[in-house]
Structure 1
Amino acid sequence: MGGNDDNLRLFQSAPHPCGYWPDREARDLVLDPRDPRLPELYPMALRWGFRRSGDIVYRPACSGCRACVPVRVPVAEFAPNRSQRRCLARNADVEAHIVAPACTGEYLSLYQRYLAHRHLGGGMDDHGAREFEQFLIGTWNESRFLELRERGTHRLLAVAVTDLAADALSAVYTFHEPDAADRGLGTLGILRQIEWAKRDGRAHLYLGYWIAGHPKMDYKRRFRPLEGYAGYGWARLQD
């Protein structure tokens, strides 16, 4: 991977059910989770198409399938489209706050309601405080929670878990109020993260993996321009 990669160890996971296509089997390429250099290696791993989940930094490495494409937004060039401008206007009463990551009762309650509504039966139904901390906070990464709250009531609407790198932000996971579906909080979270990255002078917002035509993943194509990683470098995805 270049740079400080002396004796860098990569592992291939055992086959496991694909989280996106139930009839497929998946495998991942994983950086050694015991490597003390992970905080140093992580920004470089992002540039190589890896992603963090808990303390694990991984990239899909499935035999015969390349559906998962790492994508990122070059934030200086981004301009919201008509639909995204409507989302911003619809949420003019929502304030964004950047706070330290923590497992509070308020966060955990929202997280559990979100999982029950969006991912029922998906293997995360029994997530409690321990799983929240393991999955979203981790032990070695530098992260922040981007809170979205309703102005006046201070009601928590969404939390976008965001990793900080020297020249980028990485959108790790967003959970939001299922009773406010008309607000488009998932889209709003990404728009606020793009604004944050641009305000900080960071070059990119990493959005994880895009899967063409997948109902839960194809929304990422609406954030343009969008760059994809093809194993040898990043290139602009065509409309």
Structure 2
Amino acid sequence: MRHTLPIAPQFYVTAPQPCPYLDGRMERKLFTALQGESAQRLNDSLSKQGFRRSQNVLYRPSCADCAACLSARINVAEFAPSKSQKRTLNRNRHLERRATSAWATEEQYELFRRYLEARHAQGGMADMDAFEFAAMIEETPIRTRVVEYADSETGELVAVCLTDVLDDGVSMVYSFYEPDLPRQSLGTYIILDHIDIAREAGLPNVYLGYWVPGSAKMGYKAAFSGLEVYSSGEWQKMRDPADYHSKRHPLSNDPIAEQVANISLPDSRPLRGPQRG
């Protein structure tokens, strides 16, 4: 019987393109494919190192002269809701959570379109059609759930979150909600409920994606207590948000080859060098 060793993940670098968070800057991403039998373990490992999943790809910002983007997660044991967050929980007591497999529905897509048109009409996802939406939801090689929130009286779907299950938490890949209910603060509510989901499952963290100082659209993440950010190769408790800045500096990031060399894989196999993607 022949035995073959799995091939080590190969990392690539995207071409620079305009940053979606900070005007006048260019972003670049380091990424690798997420596939095969080791996909879940790779996602678990790289998520702890600041990577995020998008369908069958894991990526992390790797800009040439900017290190503003910081991966953020909530330490569930350190979280305590603020007065405002308690009011948000109270206003949404009528919502029913239902977790399903990663399967897209027409109802989800209709809500997704209303959300984009109201909140992100000029964003990169604005032209996403039903087939692309289905791919975003369904193309996942790991443990993924769609968490829906519906009005318990009317049955109306008001919020959705695509959620990965990691070995140390839940990762909120993408969420969207009814834009005509601003008083309910549904975006905040989804995060608060995912803290409960993680707590119920005995998982210590809720991964939120990137927090970007200087970006108004990312400011809401700093409002959660117990927040940690991935900086200088480790998770650190969030300091006063005002202590962070988004200034450019030519020495902000290590060279790509050094970044790749410092990535820890689940089985500690050596990495292949990065390539242009």
Q: Normalising TM by the smaller chain, what interval?
A: over 0.9
SS in structure 2 of the partner of residue 67 of structure 1: coil
Query: Residues 33 and 56 of structure 2 are in contact (CA less than 8 Å); yes or no, is this contact kept in structure 1?
Result: no
For residues 97-137 of structure 1, what are the alpha-carbon distances to aligned partners after superposition, in whole Å with 9 as ceiling and x for unaligned?
11112111100100111111111122322212221122233
SS in structure 2 of the partner of residue 216 of structure 1: helix
Distance 1:211 1:223 in 2: 15
Query: Residues 11 and 32 of structure 1 are in contact (CA less than 8 Å); yes or no, is this contact kept in structure 2?
Result: no
The answer on 1:19 being equivalent to 2:10 is: no
* Partner of residue 124, structure 1: 125
Distance 1:206 1:89 in 2: 24
CA gap 1:144/1:67 in 2 versus in 1, 3 angstroms: same
Counterpart residue identity of residue 41, structure 1? L
SS in structure 2 of the partner of residue 217 of structure 1: helix
Aligned identity (percent) is 39
* Partner of residue 252, structure 2: none
TM-score normalized by structure 2? 0.81
Matching of residues 1-239 of structure 1 within 5 Å: 7-33=8-34, 37-239=38-240
**Displacement after TM superposition at 1:68 (Å):** 0.4
CA gap 1:8/1:124 in 2 versus in 1, 3 angstroms: closer
Q: Which stretch has the larger CA shift, 32-41 or 176-185? A: 32-41
SS in structure 2 of the partner of residue 227 of structure 1: strand
**Displacement after TM superposition at 1:58 (Å):** 0.2
Counterpart residue identity of residue 149, structure 1? A
**Displacement after TM superposition at 1:76 (Å):** 1.9
Counterpart residue identity of residue 128, structure 1? D
Query: Residues 53 and 136 of structure 1 are in contact (CA less than 8 Å); yes or no, is this contact kept in structure 2?
Result: no
Q: Which runs of 5+ in 2 are unaligned?
A: 241-277
Query: Residues 103 and 129 of structure 1 are in contact (CA less than 8 Å); yes or no, is this contact kept in structure 2?
Result: no
Query: Residues 72 and 227 of structure 1 are in contact (CA less than 8 Å); yes or no, is this contact kept in structure 2?
Result: yes
Q: Structure with the greater relative contact order (CA < 8 A, sep ≥ 6): 1 or 2? A: 2
Q: Which stretch has the larger CA shift, 25-34 or 88-97? A: 25-34
CA gap 1:7/1:55 in 2 versus in 1, 3 angstroms: closer
Q: Which stretch has the larger CA shift, 85-94 or 16-25? A: 16-25
Counterpart residue identity of residue 205, structure 2? H
CA gap 1:90/1:5 in 2 versus in 1, 3 angstroms: farther
Counterpart residue identity of residue 126, structure 1? D
**Displacement after TM superposition at 1:92 (Å):** 1.4
Report which of the two structures shows the higher radius of gyration computed on alpha carbons. 2
Distance 2:126 2:9 in 1: 35
CA gap 1:147/1:20 in 2 versus in 1, 3 angstroms: same
For residues 37-75 of structure 1, what are the alpha-carbon distances to aligned partners after superposition, in whole Å with 9 as ceiling and x for unaligned?
322200001000000112211000001111100011111
Give structure 1 regions of 4+ aligned residues with deviation exceeding 3 angstroms. Answer: 32-36
Query: Residues 35 and 141 of structure 2 are in contact (CA less than 8 Å); yes or no, is this contact kept in structure 1?
Result: no
Task: Count the aligned residue pairs.
Answer: 236
Distance 1:187 1:137 in 2: 25
CA gap 1:114/1:194 in 2 versus in 1, 3 angstroms: same
Distance 1:233 1:139 in 2: 27
